[in-house]
Amino acid sequence: MTPRTVAITGLGVLSACGIGVEAFWHGLGTEPGARPQPLEVEGFDPGRWFGPKEVRRVDRFTQLAVAAATMALDDAGMAKGPEPGDGLSLARCGVMVATGVGGLASYDRQLHVLEARGADRVSPFLIPMLMPNAAAAAVSLRFGWTGPCETVTTACAAGTHGVANAAGWIASGRCDAVLAGASEGHPTPVGMAGFANMTALSPTGMSCPFDADRNGFVASEGAAILVLEELDAARARGAHVYAVIAGSASNADAHHLTAPAEAGAGALACMRLALDDAGMSPGDVAHVNAHGTSTPRNDAAEAAALTALFGRPGPPVTSIKGVLGHAFGAAGALEAVAAALTIDRGAIPPTAGYHTPDPALGLDVVAGGWRAFEPGPVVSNSFAFGGHNGALVLAPPPG
């Protein structure tokens, strides 16, 4: 069967630079400077989406996911769910919400309760709060979507893998619509201490992707959900199509638990697989939304992979982590939203924190302001602890 074309028709986003598509897009153009970690989604009030009892029974990562999914459906014109005549059935509407650690914050809080007040005071809702699939389950329950409901947990590649897997449900004909993305609550004090002790965090609170003076990432939280539909059906109901997902790939470095493979070999292979899946060549790519964490080794490995694939300087590259920080499992979904908006709005956001080019990297890093963009294929990368690699290829909707 010929794969069906996967359209992006709705976007919901909560990030460290803004809530909602417009605030998010505007925020990507800022230069925030040093900030205390972890970065949070400022102004988020879960009471807008949950009742007073319910809100105490769900972890923050689930709260963020439900809010993002609600926004995405509203943006797609599907706030009321499938309508008569639109060809959608709840049984063919799926949910895929990825995460890196799920409800770890709830576990930490209840551990303190156990130690201070005893076992009988631990919340009976702890397990449903901490399980990584809690957000996907909550979204499915909220909207009554009874198609496949799954979770991907591949550390910082989870968001990209989640969107890619969900796109496969549309392309294969299993689903007609999917709420796809990822959510991550802010890291706990224990988690922050662990990252700090492994020297992964920026000691200055500055995320400087690909900069010569980069010294680590800035931890953050966030959620992004995309509404995916089959292209012809989306157009038939008059939906706005931001972009299409033309291809994707997933592979593993099988090299080291936390360090990338030498010269970015796994990242390079993953991008090649994604382009093959999209039926494209490197010369077709007009822009790369990089993983770009601002750690010395990660950025060097990704730059080496990009150079091996595209040559120097290659297509314009940006990393939005200079503004957003690193939202771990949610990062790839946030970056997929940015890539879709880049295509839709004809502009590439700058790489905040990039001031001193690293001559060893040799990339065309977009910095200092927005760059006009003639819409074309965009590669969005995610690489993770454990050697997990993911890449998406987004493209303008076909005429």
Number of domains in the chain: 1
Mention every residue, 6+ apart, whose C-beta is less than 8 A from residue 85: none
Pairing, β 371-372 against β 378-383? unpaired
Rounded CA-CA distance 320/313 in Å is: 19
Rounded CA-CA distance 358/264 in Å is: 17
One digit per residue, the tens of pLDDT, for the chain of length 399 reads 678 999 999 999 999 999 999 999 999 999 998 999 999 999 999 999 999 999 999 999 999 999 999 999 999 999 876 665 666 789 999 999 999 999 999 999 999 999 999 999 999 999 999 999 999 999 999 999 999 999 999 999 999 999 999 999 999 999 999 999 999 999 999 999 999 999 999 999 999 999 999 999 999 999 999 999 999 999 999 999 999 999 999 999 999 998 999 899 999 999 999 999 999 999 999 999 999 999 999 999 999 999 999 999 999 999 999 999 999 999 999 999 999 999 999 999 999 999 999 999 999 999 999 999 999 999 999 999 999 999 999 999 998
State the SS3 of 43-77. Answer: CCCHHHCCCCCHHHHCCHHHHHHHHHHHHHHHHCC
**Is 93 annotated as catalytic?**
no
Catalytic residue among 161, 186, 326, 388: 326
The DSSP call for residue 264 is: G
Report DSSP letters for 90-139, one per residue.
Answer: GGGEEEEEE-SS-SHHHHHHHHHHHHHH-GGGS-TTHHHHHSTTHHHHHH
CA 209-226-289 angle, to 5 degrees, is 20
pLDDT at residue number 106: 94
Is 228 a member of any domain?
yes
Tell me the residue range of the domain where 110 lies: 6-395
Is 1 a member of any domain?
no
Rounded CA-CA distance 125/327 in Å is: 25
**Is 326 annotated as catalytic?**
yes
The DSSP call for residue 312 is: S
**Is 255 annotated as catalytic?**
no
Which phi-psi region, left, alpha or beta, contains residue 393 (left: φ > 0; alpha: ψ -120 to 50)?
beta
pTM beyond 0.95: yes
pLDDT at residue number 1: 65
Catalytic residue among 93, 156, 175, 208: 156
Tokens representing 126 are 């702890």
pLDDT at residue number 16: 97
Tell me the Cα Rg of the chain.
20
Catalytic residue among 186, 287, 291, 388: 291
Is 238 a member of any domain?
yes
CA end-to-end distance (rounded Å), the chain: 22
- Integer CA distances (angstroms), 200 to 182, 214, 296, in order: 22, 11, 9
Q: What CATH number is given to the structural domain containing 248?
A: 3.40.47.10
Rounded CA-CA distance 253/265 in Å is: 7
Rounded CA-CA distance 258/114 in Å is: 32
User: Rounded to the nearest 5°, which phi and psi values hold at 193?
Assistant: -65, -40
Q: What is the helix (H) or strand (E) element at residue 307, kind and residue range?
A: helix 296-310
**Distance, C-alpha 143 to centroid of its chain:** 22
pLDDT at residue number 132: 97
Rounded CA-CA distance 283/297 in Å is: 26
Rounded CA-CA distance 157/145 in Å is: 25
